[in-house]
Amino acid sequence: MNADAPLQAAPERVLALLDASRQSIAALAAAVELASRGRAELLALYIEDQDLLDCAGFPFSREVGGRTGLARPLSMDSLTSTLRHQRLRADEALRRAVAGRDIKHSLQVSRGRVVSETLAQAGPGDLLVLGKAGLAGQWGVRLGSTSRALLLRAPCTVVIWDERQPLQPGPLRLYGDAEPLARLAPLFQGLEQLPPMAAPALERHLTQARGGALQLRREALQRLFREDPDLLGRVPVPVVVTDGAPSE
């Protein structure tokens, strides 16, 4: 693949889910690149988590400092202030990411349950880009519950970006019967076909991977999750999941 070639079959929009994590900022850089190369609109989503807001209404609720480990009361005032600061940081991150780029872009702020709000915005022609671990990443890289749910339920292609890998070219590794997506061409160089294999074998194969990404169908991802629910948290490259929502 030629990294400088324009995308074909460009997505209608590139959606980037933003929060206060480093992972989402790293994913935003990839989303900007995809939107720029594909001449697509970039929509950044910042969702104030209704479940967290509901928790603040209980008098026994506590929050634990990520650095200090100290517990303190979780009040609605402090949570609202935190969300306001996070929203401002998301807005600033978007401005920095698109600086110097001719990209139609916007930040949409909403309040609700993160998964359902995101699913309400995503359409079949979109490309949804997420950070791998979200706020849970400070405890060790793993696939966050929000990313997992969107991987399995989104009606569009989903890209899970890993902060540990800088935005650099490398092969797009096609697992099983996955077919290459032209819209991802700007980020990768060449193709590597991987036969279907068990989760431990796939992890061993990818352990030393540098650059590039893993692409697989949602049905294959479901099978791998049944073998090892935490597999993607240990895979050190971005993951691309294609196909519509799984059947019941």
Report, as an integer, the average pLDDT of 213-227. 94
* 225 pLDDT more than 80: yes
In a 13 Å sphere around the CA of 18, the CA atoms on its Cβ side amount to 31
**Residues 243, 248, 143: CA angle, nearest 5 degrees:** 60
Give the right CATH number for 13-242 from 3.30.470.20, 3.40.640.10, 3.40.50.12370, 2.60.410.10: 3.40.50.12370
* 75 pLDDT more than 70: no
What's the pLDDT tens digit per position in 28-63? Answer: 988 998 898 888 999 999 988 766 665 656 554 555
Phi-psi sector, 88: left (phi>0), alpha (psi -120 to 50), beta:
alpha
Burial of 125 (0-12, 13-18, 19+ CB in 10 A): middle
Report, as an integer, the average pLDDT of 137-159. 78
* 127 pLDDT more than 50: yes
- Residue reference for tokens 């671990």: 133
> Which token pair is 146?
């929000």
- 167 with 129: CB under 8 angstroms? no
Interatomic CA distance for residues 228 and 225, integer angstroms: 5
Give me the pLDDT at residue 200, please.
96
Min mean pLDDT across 68-82, 86-100, 190-204 is at 68-82
- 217 with 242: CB under 8 angstroms? yes
Give me the pLDDT at residue 118, please.
94
* 4 pLDDT more than 60: no
* 135 pLDDT more than 70: no
Q: Where in the chain are the domains?
A: 13-242
What's the pLDDT tens digit per position in 111-123? Answer: 888 899 999 999 9
Beta strands 239-242 and 157-161, pairing class? antiparallel
Q: Using 50, 70 and 90 to split pLDDT, how confident is the model at 192?
A: very high
